[in-house]
Copies of this chain bind each other. A is one copy, B any other.
Amino acid sequence: MEKGPLGRRRGRGARERILSASQQLFRDQGINRTGMDQLCAAAQVSKRTAYQHFTSKDELVAEYLRRFDPDVMPGVFDRTDLTPRERLLAAFEMPASTPLCPYIAAAVELHDPQHPASQYARDYKTAIAARLTETAREAGATNPEQLGEQLALLIDGASARTRVLNGDSFPTAAAIAAVLIDNAIPAPSPRQPSDDRGTTGSAPVPVGGQ
């Protein structure tokens, strides 16, 4: 394989190559501005093969977004070396080159709440907020749901603003997050958690209503 003289073949991983190319192109150019021809060329896949794996571009877009589901903010919520509070703040340590959240981009580009991709977007946003809420509860917040929703809003705001302004807005969001977190956690030391590694069970964990 690999460039034979006649009809070179790139192997069987066509589907993976398509999805991989989708990630890059949809991120760099947007969904609507990426044609199937260009996508297939980038994936080194014939157009026919692409349409054997995905019956339509819409389906490909949906699968492209579904791929982000399993790893909801990987390497942030699963870091056991950080206290819950530090994990909440770590969610805002994004490189300045971070592209706009693909779910927001898709929801705006597709502009159809009925599109499966828009459904995935809602699910993902809900999942992120749930993760934040869960961590907020571990951190001992009096109202974890509220704090989780607030932090989720900050992330989206920073993401959108970074895109429009061509500048990093995550530090601003992180500063807000620090204020909110400090205000939402009742008793702990107002000092920085420099070495206070009390694991997760140290907080009293009051039951939040609602």
Q: Which residues of A contact B (CB under 8 A)?
A: 29-30, 32-33, 100, 103-105, 107-109, 111, 113, 118, 121-122, 125-126, 142-143, 146, 149-150, 152-161, 163-166, 169, 171-176, 178-180, 182-184, 190, 198-200, 203, 205, 207-210
Q: Assuming the A-B contacts A150-B175, A179-B205, are A164 and B103 also in contact, with contact meaning beta carbons closer than 8 angstroms in the complex?
A: yes
Oligomeric state, in copies: 2
| A157–B153 touching, CB < 8 Å | yes
Interface of A: prevailing SS: helix
Q: How far is the CA of A155 from the CA of B149 in the complex (A)?
A: 15
A90 CB → nearest B CB, Å: 14
A104 CB → nearest B CB, Å: 6
Q: How far is the CA of A108 from the CA of B103 in the complex (A)?
A: 12
Q: Assuming the A-B contacts A146-B175, A208-B175, are A161 and B125 also in contact, with contact meaning beta carbons closer than 8 angstroms in the complex?
A: yes
